[in-house]
Structure 1
Amino acid sequence: MGILLEAKNVEKSFEQNTVLKDVNFTLNEGEILGLVGENGAGKSTLMNIIFGMEVINETGGYSGEVLLNGKKINFKSPIEALDSGIGMVHQEFNLIPGFTVSENITLNMEKTNKNLVSSVIGKKYETVDTKENLKTSENALNTLGVNIDSKEYLSEMPVGHKQFIEIAREMTREKVKLIIMDEPTAVLTESEAEILIKSLKKLASLGISIIFISHRLSEVIDLCDNIIVLRDGFVVENRKSSDYTIEEIASLMVGRNAKKQEGEIIERKKLNKEDIILDIKNLWVDMPGEQVIDVNLSVVRGEILGIAGIAGQGKLGIPNGILGTYPVGGEVIFNNENLKLGDTFSILRKKIAFVSEDRRGVGLLLEEPIYWNIAFNAMQVQNKYLKKRFGIKFRDEVAMKELADFYIDSLAIKCMGPTQRAQNLSGGNQQKVCLAKALAMEPELLFVSEPTRGIDIGAKELVLNTLKETNAKDDTSIVMISSELEELRSICDRIAVICDGKIAGILSPYDSSEKFGLLMSGVSLKEVNANV
Structure 2
Amino acid sequence: MENNNAPLLEMRNIKKDFFGNQVLSDINITLGPGEVLGLVGENGAGKSTLMKILFGMDVIRETGGYEGEIRLNGQAVKFATPFDALAAGIGMVHQEFSLIPGFTAAENILLNREPTKPNIVSQVFGPRLDTLDYKTISQRADQAIDKMGVKISGDMVISDMPVGHKQFTEIARELSKDQLKLLILDEPTAVLTEKEAEALLASIRNMSAQGISVIFITHRLHEILSVCDTVVVMRDGYVVKEAPAKELDVQEITRWMVGRNVESASAAEVRELPDAKTIMSIRKLWVDMPGETVRNIDLDIKEGEILGIGGLAGQGKLGIPNGIMGLYEAGGTVEFEGKPIPLNSPRKCLDASLAFVSEDRRGVGLLLDESLEWNVAFGAMQIQNKFLKKFGLFTWRDERAIRAVTDKYIDELKIKCTGSKQKAKELSGGNQQKVCLAKAFALQPKFLFVSEPTRGIDVGAKALVLEALKRFNREFGVTVVVISSELEELRQCCDRIAIVSGGRIAGILPATESSEAFGTLMVSQVV
Which TM-score band (shorter chain)? over 0.9
Corresponding residue to 2:466 among 464, 467, 471 = 464
1:90 aligns with 2:97: no
What SS is found at the alignment partner of 1:460?
helix
User: What is residue 388 of structure 1 aligned with on the other side?
Assistant: 390
Who is 1:529 aligned against?
Answer: none
Return the alpha-carbon distance in structure 1 between the equivalents of residues 510 and 198 of structure 2: 27
The correspondence for 2:120, drawn from 111, 116, 123, is 116
- How has the CA–CA distance of structure 1 residues 239 and 524 changed in structure 2, closer, same or farther, with 3 Å as cutoff? same
In the alignment, the residues of structure 1 paired with residue 81 and residue 275 of structure 2 have an alpha-carbon distance, to the nearest angstrom, of 57
Aligned counterpart in structure 2 of residue 42 of structure 1, from 21, 42, 46: 46
| Correspondence list, 1:382-421, <5 A | 382-389=384-391, 391-421=393-423
Aligned partner of residue 448 in structure 2, secondary structure = strand
State the shift of 1:306 in Å: 0.9
Decide which moves more: 79-88 or 331-340: 79-88
Per the alignment, in what secondary structure is the counterpart of residue 503 of structure 1?
A: strand
Q: Name which of structure 1's ranges 141-150 and 467-476 shifts more when overlaid on structure 2.
A: 141-150
Question: Tell me, what secondary structure is at the counterpart of 1:136?
Answer: helix
Q: Which amino acid aligns with 2:42?
A: E
**Cα distance in 2 between the residues matched to 1:335 and 1:288:** 30
| Cα contact 1:39–1:428 (8 A) shared by 2 | yes
Cα distance, 1:268 vs structure 2: 8.7
Match of 2:367 in 1: 365
Q: Please report how far the alpha carbon of residue 11 of structure 1 lies from its aligned counterpart in structure 2 after TM superposition.
A: 0.6
After superposition, the CA RMSD in angstroms is: 1.9
Residue aligning to 2:233: 229
Q: Distance in 2 between matches of 1:212 and 1:120?
A: 49
* Kept after mapping to 1: 8 A contact 2:150/2:199: yes
Partner residue of 1:279 out of 278, 281, 292: 281
Where does 1:182-201 land on structure 2 (aligned, <5 Å)? 182-201=186-205
Structure 2 match to 1:310: 312
The alpha carbon displacement at 1:480 in A equals 0.7
Residue by residue over 1:412-468, the C-alpha shift from the partner in whole angstroms, topping out at 9 and shown as x without a partner, is 111111111101110000000001100111111000000011000000000111111
1:28 — aligned with what?
A: 32
- Residue type at the aligned position of 2:390: K
Pairwise CA distance, 1:270: 6.2
Deviation at 1:519, TM superposition (A): 2.2
Q: Tell me by how many angstroms 1:243 deviates.
A: 1.8
Shift of 1:111: 1.7
Deviations 1:334-391 (A, max 9, x none): 1111112222122112211110000000000000011111111111111111112452
Match of residue 177 from structure 1: 181
Q: Give the superposition deviation at 1:73.
A: 2.4
Counterpart amino acid of 2:282?
I
Residues of 2 paired with 1:235 and 1:72: CA distance? 22
In 2, Cα distance between equivalents of 1:273 and 1:208: 59
Correspondences of 1:207-222 after superposition (within 5 Å): 207-222=211-226
Contact 2:268 2:492 in 1 (8 A): no
**CA 1:336–1:241 in structure 2 vs 1: closer, same or farther (change >3 Å)?**
same
Contact 2:11 2:69 in 1 (8 A): yes
What TM-score results when the alignment is normalised by the length of structure 1? Answer: 0.95
Name which of structure 1's ranges 351-360 and 333-342 shifts more when overlaid on structure 2. Answer: 333-342
- The residue identity in structure 1 corresponding to 2:336 is F
The residue number in structure 1 matching 2:83 is: 79
Q: How many positions carry a matched residue from both structures? A: 523
Contact 1:278 1:298 survives alignment (8 Å): yes
Q: Is the CA contact (8 Å cut-off) linking 2:22 and 2:237 kept in structure 1?
A: yes
**Structure 1 range deviating more: 272-281 or 426-435:** 272-281
How far residue 287 of structure 1 moved from its aligned partner, in angstroms, is 0.7
Q: Matched residues in 1 for 2:485 and 2:429: separation?
A: 18
- Map Cα deviations across residues 100-158 of structure 1 (whole Å, 9 max, x no partner): 12112111122221223323433332111111111112222222222222122222221
CA distance in structure 2 between the aligned counterparts of 1:250 and 1:510, rounded to whole angstroms: 25
Can you list the C-alpha shifts for 1:204-238, whole angstroms capped at 9, x where unaligned?
Answer: 11111111000011111111111111100011111
1:497 paired residue among 493, 496, 499: 499
Gapped regions of structure 1 (runs ≥ 5): 526-532
Equivalent in 127, 136, 142 of residue 146 of structure 2: 142
Task: State the alpha-carbon separation in 1 of the partners of residues 124 and 46 from structure 2.
Answer: 51
The TM-score with structure 2 as length reference comes to: 0.96
The one-character-per-residue Cα deviations of 1:147-173 (angstroms, maximum 9, x if unpaired) are 222122222221111111111111111
| Structure 2 partner of 1:62 | 66
Cα pair 1:489 1:510 within 8 Å, conserved: yes
- What is aligned with 1:428? 430
Query: Of residues 324, 328, 331 in structure 2, which corresponds to 1:329?
Result: 331
Assess, with a 3 A threshold, how the Cα gap between structure 1 residues 520 and 122 changes in structure 2: closer, same or farther.
farther
Cα distance in 1 for partners of 2:22, 2:497 equals 43
Identity of aligned residues (%): 55
